[in-house]
Structure 1
């Protein structure tokens, strides 16, 4: 099937002029015609869209300049090239038309060879622009597809690494999914808080949520007799348990060094992994950071991680009733947790509790020994 020829719309209030131009162009182009500006605008916005418009300037009711302004103001027609056709031949008239966005200016009486040459030139330019735009859109779609694949691979890799840590600590279950959801909810609640709005952009929130599953990846370096111990840890064992923070951070730092290009989320992942057990009052670990010296990402994870640890059954503890969990965390405002994040937690409690219930772990078939670490130790 032959491709449809280019479409040329001729606009002139004199039917004889339409006939002359139509007869000249029809052997090569599909010609459409309008005798006034209103009809021209309607035809230009309908299919098949014109590849070029030959527009008379001097018309009643709506002159060519007004028609061109309307064409340029409509997204559906703004990119159609327009050539003015007029008896006005002063330099000022031509400049006015070109300033409004016309691509060319033909003066009457028309010379057929010049008309055909200029029409052909502007049709070819339009076709070239259309091809470039199609190529651009195709490239953008391909880039988007590949970015989507890369993000999927990245997400799968993150979860694979996090699951590796989980294989060492089988009590966590849906812990990763829950803490991600808690982090997103808390960050969105604080998105426009004066203290956080500069940091918590939509992009940063997405990266934090992506990074959250890696917060305990350092547990792969903790010996089984400590990580899986049922019952209280000795002081020496507890010191070893605390090293999972910088073990995880160091592993991510090495991965960052090995990457050929910067990996944006790893900066946040390192913050979260190293500092999510720091305390607002400076008594946390591994660096005894205090207050706003603790990265925001880690402060958010601290609340999310402890909330989940208290709410859920672990090998070392029974689940605590939600209202009691709420009270315990709120009581730690200004001591273990950032007061503003604690306030956001309190406001969002029903939503966070809903997340905990929605992604709850299956009930165990037997009871394990309970190791009571207290609030500070929860979620080691």
Structure 2
């Protein structure tokens, strides 16, 4: 299995014409990464080509002679440096300025003044994206070389890789792979139940439902960008912490967008993975995040995932709550009809709620099984 976290120290190129900014970044990053420092664009281009090629570049936008946007364009035009992720450092906040940077090839922006937690999180996220790209490239090479004789085996490996990528995010949130399996099966069941409804039949073909189910384990992949102190906090998050947590759908979308860019071709699996990662926290009445989408603006794949994810969360043990009963969970989802959830999906859910419960039992976490057995013994 491809390792997403490398054992060696990554190399980061810092580019800024202001010594004070370089001093801050150096102090923040020197213990974790190997650093190269450039004070102007031409030196940055030279250092970017030196072996080992940098794993990531932090690039100031406003510099004399050659600004950061031009440096980025030249990096992307050079085959040696084209794949290095570039994060712009800027005091500008206009969307038009950011659009120019993204068109030049940047993967992200960090706004000044620099906040240590934001800098660390963005760097870690984009290095993990690079790991994911490497894993997918290796996987695609294997497919091309051996597809004729090992198609079935490779497809199983692909499914396992997808699940492993989902587990990577879930384990940081103290979840289990069984959560991914349960929500995958909930989504498949709910989609098949509603597939003939006039509102959904045009999209919910058997093939599309299977692609949605395959992509479901990646719904929280963006949590790789959330600091451990927030993910593992035993109590309620502060407003500031929750604001950071609400970034995980956007991080997930960005990770999958980067994979799509590398592959350079349309993929239903990646389309649905992106929709689900970005949209599963949206709500039918528009009160969700990150976009505040309302009603049919939310992709059907994300609406299916939202209900599946909430049902599983209600039944699951958390540091802040015990597991709810199946009936209590059903009642809560009924209360969310027309507010949190698409009303037609809730109606379909109620038709197969007993089957949801069977999935929850079949793929129960080991701790919950032990607790259920103890409760049964006490009652009998």
User: What is the rounded CA distance, in whole Å, between the counterparts of 1:357 and 1:366 in structure 2?
Assistant: 12
* Alpha-carbon shift at residue 198 of structure 1 (Å): 0.6
Q: Which residue of 2 aligns with 1:166?
A: 170
Distance 2:368 2:242 in 1: 26
Secondary structure at the aligned position of 1:171 is classed as: coil
Q: Judge conservation of contact 2:284–2:294 (CA < 8 Å) in 1.
A: yes
Which residue of 214, 220, 223 corresponds with 1:216? 220
Of 235, 239, 246 in structure 1, the residue corresponding to residue 243 of structure 2 is: 239
Report the Cα distance in structure 2 between the residues aligned to 1:297 and 1:306, rounded to whole angstroms: 14
Which of 156, 160, 170 aligns to 1:152? It is: 156
Q: CA deviation at 1:315?
A: 2.6
**Secondary structure of residue in 1 paired with 2:252:** helix
Q: What is the Cα deviation at residue 146 of structure 1? A: 4.6
Q: What secondary structure sits across from 1:165 in the alignment? A: helix
Counterpart-to-counterpart distance in 2, 1:366 and 1:220: 30
Q: 2:212–2:272: 8 Å Cα contact kept in structure 1?
A: yes
The Cα RMSD (Å) is 2.0
Query: 2:180 matched to 1:176?
Result: yes
1:345-360 equivalent positions in 2, closer than 5 A: 345-360=349-364
Question: 1:176 & 1:333 partners in 2: Cα distance?
Answer: 24
TM-score normalized with structure 1 length: 0.57
**How far apart, in 2, do the equivalents of 1:366 and 1:349 lie?**
24
SS of 1:230 mapped into structure 2: coil
Larger Rg: 1
CA contact (8 A) 1:155 1:210 kept: yes
Match of 1:336? 340
Measure how far apart 1:262 and its partner are.
Answer: 3.2
In structure 2, relative to structure 1, the CA distance for the partners of 1:259 and 1:283 (3 Å cut) is same
C-alpha displacement of 1:290 = 0.2
Alignment check: 8 A CA contact 2:167 2:177 kept: no
Number of residue pairs the alignment of both structures matches:
226
Say whether the 8 Å CA contact 2:281–2:306 is kept in structure 1.
yes
Shift of 1:299: 0.2
Aligned-partner Cα distance in 1 for 2:147–2:248:
38
| Aligned residue runs from structure 1 range 99-138, under 5 A | none
| Partner residue in 1 for 2:37 | none
1:173, distance to aligned residue in structure 2 (A): 4.6
Residue 205, structure 1, aligned to residue 240, structure 2: no
Please state whether the residue corresponding to 2:366 is helix, strand or coil: coil
Query: Are residues 205 and 366 of structure 1, via their aligned partners in 2, closer, same or farther at CA, if it must alter by over 3 Å?
Result: closer
Structure 2 unaligned residues grouped into runs of 5+: 1-145, 372-380
How far did residue 261 of structure 1 move? Answer: 3.8
